[in-house]
Amino acid sequence: MYNFTNMNKTGKLFVISGSSGVGKGTLLKELLLQHPDLKLSISATTRNPRPGEIDGVNYFFTKKQDFEKAVQNGEFLEWTEFNGNYYGTKEAYVRKTLSKGENLILEIETKGALQIKEKLPDSILIFILPPSLEELEHRLRGRNTEDELSIQNRLKEVKREIECSKQYDYRVVNDDLSKALKELEEIINRNLGV
């Protein structure tokens, strides 16, 4: 097992994006199992938890009013509205983690990712692409977590997201899961100098 933690150096920040249903969660779960020294940042969101999601584990589920207060207080490194809900990353957590030499992964959408790249140019942006739009819709529906309106809203974002991905450092197609995982690991290892 690799030990990516380095106490003398600032940690690396990886930002992973991809359209809803493309397989980000699935890939990251596998990646983190193999590399427990990579930390996954926990975002704040105003959306309701899905069955099985736990506050403080999947997200910090936050009331809209509290989220807006945190925005006013300048607590977010980035935040955005997506599908009618707010999502954001707390700046203090990211800076503290990186300054300890720990490597951090953010799984966030494209607008937030580009805000991060502007503020922290050393961050590494990775976009996960679907093998096709049909397969993406199939996966999103197959996951069975969204109602029809939410599915339609998420699919509406896809073309804009793929256009945005041209500004990313890397793009990985998640067709065969193990192949995509290997590619993702190679990108991470290369940037960590492993």
Binding site residues, ligand ADP, CB under 6 A: 18, 20-26, 139, 142-143, 174, 177
CA dist 109 and 161 (Å) reads 8
| Binding characters for ligand 5GP, 25-64, by CB under 6 A (x = yes) | ------------------x---x-----------------
Q: Min. distance of Cβ 165 from ligand 5GP in angstroms?
A: 12
CA dist 35 and 33 (Å) reads 6
From the list 43, 16, 13, the residue with the least C-alpha distance to 129 is 16
194, two tokens: 């492993």
Contact partners, residue 161, CB within 8 Å, separation at least 6 = 17, 18, 19, 109, 110
Q: Three-class SS of residue 179? A: helix
Instruction: Please pick, from the candidates 12, 62, 107, 127, the single residue that binds ligand 5GP as defined by CB under 6 A.
Output: 107
Residue 82 in contact with ligand 5GP, rule: CB under 6 A: yes
Partner touching 177 among ligand 5GP, ligand ADP, none, CB below 5 to 8 Å by kind: ligand ADP
Q: Min. distance of Cβ 148 from ligand ADP in angstroms?
A: 17
Q: What are phi and psi of 25, to 5 degrees?
A: -60, -45
Instruction: Please pick, from the candidates 67, 87, 127, 170, the single residue that binds ligand 5GP as defined by CB under 6 A.
Output: 87
Interface residues toward ligand 5GP, by CB under 6 A: 20, 43, 47, 78, 80, 82, 87-89, 107-109, 112
